[in-house]
Structure 1
Amino acid sequence: MGTTGKRERRRAGDTYRQVIRLTGPLLPCVSFLGRLPTATIQFGSVLLVARTSGSLGTAGVTGGALALGQVACGPLVGRLADRHGQRTVVLAFSLANALAVTALVTGALAALPAPVLALLGAAAGATVPLVGPLARTRLVALARRSGASEGTVGAALSFESTLDELSFVLGPALIGVAAVLAHPAYAMGGAAVLVAVCGSAFALHPTARLVAPARVEPRSGRARAARAPMPRCVPALLTSLALQGAMFGACQAGITALTARLGQEDQAGLVYAAMGVMSAAAGFAMAAVPDRIGARTRWRLATGAALALSLPLLGTTALPGLYAVVTVLGIAYAPHLITVFGLLERAVAPSRLAETMGVATSALVGGQALAVAVTGRLAESHGPAAAFAAASTAAGLTFALAMAVRPTAYAQAPGNAPHARVRDTQPQ
């Protein structure tokens, strides 16, 4: 058993070294720091407006508007990146997002009316540059161009999903520390600087050339990306991500309600962070899964594990038990996300990959935001168990999807490899 474990760890380490050799050390750093503001501004906007206005209602409306802006415009950012290339789009949106976040901070400090703050929040959400999804697209392009094995491509997706997990654990923690030690405005201001600097660095990195814009038809002037149909399995995969987001949101509401009932409100963020850390660790470990375990099998196993591991939440009434159950539940999250993103990458045409990743992220964020709003009320009315029951229900629906759907693979023409590939020539 010990020898097998060492062999798997060695295999995972070798695979991740291959991924780093593809990217170089700089790209993961700037992509991680560039996506960190996305993980901070949602929670940060709520804390900021609550502090400056004294109204939780106004804070909730502002945070909700920010989430809605991101969900609505995320697919547009991906579509623009497919058509015009990542460099121009990410650079423009990074600078616009920095200005929008700065405007939100200024408006909150000036105690502007709630409708104005909601508009500023929506602008901050709408201009998110989607560094995470586009980094995932770029890394897959690097792996495909190099002729890497499917294991390396899977490890690239694992690596990117783990960076996402870490950002969504670290981001709210940094906001919470800033709120306690000083003021949320400082953290939001830092997020604006970070997205301007690191988002721009990600946009200008030489690897942006590898993700070429869609070619244009000479006669019609229309991008070929618009003519590539979405396979029928894609809506089911996006639904799976939306349900995953709903699990996140319902667990968040249940954790908040239970810690409040126990008089330990300050523990809510730590409990949620413990789940995120375990999820990140499971994501890194995905590189050690043998190739013979196919993507569809992994999807079924991950969703089945999420369902089984969520059920003990229904009987959890004490803080130690909550920590234990939620931490173990984190094992199922990252493997599900990594697997579904991998299935999407294989299913769609390369000319629509960035758009698909943008839609996928919007589905995840939208599911979480909707679940927080709905299950938060359920938890207030019927207790934490109601929110946890909603999380288990979402997990059950995700498992049913995984059992019923057979994802397809993209092939542009007979004889082509059955997955999305970048073009063999770089744009000049």
Structure 2
Amino acid sequence: MLRKPGALSTLGFGMVGRIPLAMNPVAIILLISSTKDSFAEAGLASGAYTLAGALVGPRIGRLADRFGTRKVLLPITIIHIASMLWLIQVSRGSLLLIMLAGALTGATLANIGSYTRTRWSRALSDRKELNSALSIESVLDEISFVGGPALAGLLFVEFSPSFAPLAGLVLLVIGAAGLGISSTHHDISTNREKRRSALLGIFMVKPLLISLIALGGVFGGNTVAI
């Protein structure tokens, strides 16, 4: 599987690009709590960031299915960069502005792991190779979700409150640019509506989605609470 054209670049850029997904909630809490001296406002900002990402992320993914990774990932990353810089700029301002900036930042953060998994599922026809690729993706997810918050805390302590979110932007640019430039025809779905209706028609899919939503709530809540 790793010998396939573009396999190593997909894994490498995917690993780098998904770290901000784990870094940013902690980085935002550290940033706002230090500038506003309030963990309540920091939690609200991080909550707005996470909720907006959960609501808008699937719709951005649908656009990527329709138009391809390059046409969606690169523009949305540019908007995310501007949004994060705005959040840093208003981090000492009113709570409303902070939450608006946080929500826009979360809504425009591309879920790199979803893009790479989709790329594998369309590029690999062999079931064993696909299972291997998805297993590696799961390992990379775990590494990023363990290492991302730790990295955010380390950068906060060693440098400044804004250094962690800025570092997240750098990592995202590297990952998104690499995946966007290397995108192929495999990134475009040719029968997306048929697949979507067929998937939702499977009985066990809806309970699975509910379980995943609950699990996501646990992870998101723990991040803010801790």
TM over 0.5: yes
Partner of 2:203: 232
Pairing 1:163–2:140 present:
yes
Task: Pick the aligned partner of 1:30 from 7, 13, 23.
Answer: 13
Q: Residue in 2 aligned with 1:120?
A: 101
Tell me, yes or no, if the aligned pair for 2:53 and 2:106 is still in contact at 8 Å.
Answer: yes
Offset at residue 371 of structure 1 (A): 6.5
Unaligned runs of 5+ in 1: 1-17, 216-222, 246-363, 380-428
Q: 1:67 to 1:26 in 2, by over 3 A?
A: same
User: Are positions 1:140 and 2:121 aligned together?
Assistant: yes
Q: C-alpha deviations, 1:186-237, integer Å up to 9, x for none?
A: 111111222223212211214x32122436xxxxxxx745873422221122
- In the alignment, what sits opposite 2:59? 76
Cα distance between partner residues in 2 of 1:212 and 1:91: 15
Aligned residues of 1:34 and 1:194 also touching (Cα < 8 A): yes
- Change in Cα spacing, 1:367 to 1:84, as seen in structure 2 (3 Å) is farther
1:183: which partner in 2?
Answer: 160
Q: What letter is aligned with 2:147? A: L
Which stretch shifts more, 156-165 or 192-201? 192-201
- Partner-residue secondary structure (3-state), 1:228: helix
User: Aligned AA for 1:27?
Assistant: T
**What one-letter code is carried by the residue in structure 1 that aligns with 2:205?**
V
Matches within 5 A, 1:100-119: 100-108=83-91, 111-119=92-100
Distance 1:209 1:367, change over 3 A: farther
Residue 173 and residue 371 in structure 1: after superposition, are their counterparts in 2 closer, same or farther (change >3 A)?
closer
Residue ranges of structure 2 left out of the alignment (5+ in a row): none
Q: Distance in 2 between matches of 1:134 and 1:64?
A: 24
For 2:76 and 2:110, the matched residues in 1 are separated by 5
- Largest Rg, 1 or 2: 1
Find the aligned partners of 1:33 and 1:107 in 2 and give their Cα distance. Answer: 27
Residue number among 54, 58, 78 corresponding to 1:95 in the alignment: 78
Equivalent position amino acid for 1:233 in 2:
M
Tell me the TM-score normalised to structure 2 length. 0.90
User: Are 1:129 and 2:132 matched, yes or no?
Assistant: no
Q: Of residues 161, 185, 190 in structure 2, which corresponds to 1:214? A: 190
Q: For residues 241 and 158 of structure 1, what CA distance do their matches in structure 2 show?
A: 18
Provide the aligned C-alpha RMSD in A: 2.1
Question: For 1:227 and 1:205, how far apart are their aligned partners in 2?
Answer: 26
Partner of 2:219: 368
Per the TM alignment, residue 168 of structure 1 is displaced from its structure 2 partner at its CA by: 1.0
- Residue aligning to 1:347: none
**How far apart are the structure 2 equivalents of 1:367 and 1:120?**
24
**Separation in structure 1 between the aligned mates of residue 58 and residue 194 of structure 2, nearest angstrom:** 14
Shift in Å, 1:370: 4.9
TM-score normalised by the chain length of structure 1:
0.49
Q: Which amino acid aligns with 1:140?
A: S
Three-state SS of the structure 2 residue aligned to 1:134 is helix
**Alignment CA distance shift 1:89-1:225 (3 Å):** farther
Q: Larger relative contact order (C-alpha < 8 A, sep ≥ 6)?
A: 2
Identity %: 29
Paired residue total: 223
Q: 2:174 aligns with which of 191, 197, 206?
A: 197
Task: Look up the SS of the partner of 2:203 in the other structure.
Answer: coil
Whether 1:241 and 2:212 are equivalent positions in the alignment is yes
Q: Describe the superposition over 1:337-369 as per-residue Cα deviations: whole angstroms up to 9, x where unpaired.
A: xxxxxxxxxxxxxxxxxxxxxxxxxxx3x4533
Q: 1:167 corresponds to which letter in structure 2?
A: S
Residue in structure 2 matched with residue 289 of structure 1 by the alignment: none
